[in-house]
Amino acid sequence: MENEQKAQNIIAELNLKMKAENTKQKEIEDELRAKAVIFEQKYLFSRQQYQSTKNTNNELTMLITDIRERMAIFGQKKSENIAKIKEYEKSIVLLQKAVRIHKKTVSFKLIWIKKYC
């Protein structure tokens, strides 16, 4: 009888340990799922930023092309127009640099998220 009682106590103790371990494992799994959701949201946001940056860069390039075409068509006041266009191009080039830097930052974030998620 005494051995049977000891065996039942050991079994009960092991069952409690297993339940505690299962609870702990479930908490860890829930925490990891929550982190995965956060990383997925960050990835999607960064992807949207990357696409937006790419679109902005394309629009700026089209704007430069359009300005150059208009200059060819409307050749009057050539020197004034050229000076204005050069100012615009400088501004656009600066914007493109800023967009490229932002694009690289977003790209780096995407790579980091893919690597560590």
pLDDT of 75 higher than 90: no
Using an 8 Å Cβ cutoff, are 33 and 100 in contact?
A: no
Query: Measured between alpha carbons, how far is residue 10 from residues 14, 15, 24 in Å?
Result: 6, 9, 21
Structure tokens, 38: 């956060």
11-27 confidence digits (pLDDT tens): 889 899 999 999 999 99
Question: Can you tell me the distance from the alpha carbon of 109 to that of 7, in angstroms, rounded to the nearest whole number?
Answer: 56
Is this model's pTM higher than 0.95 or not? no
Contact yes or no for 85/71 (Cβ under 8 A): yes
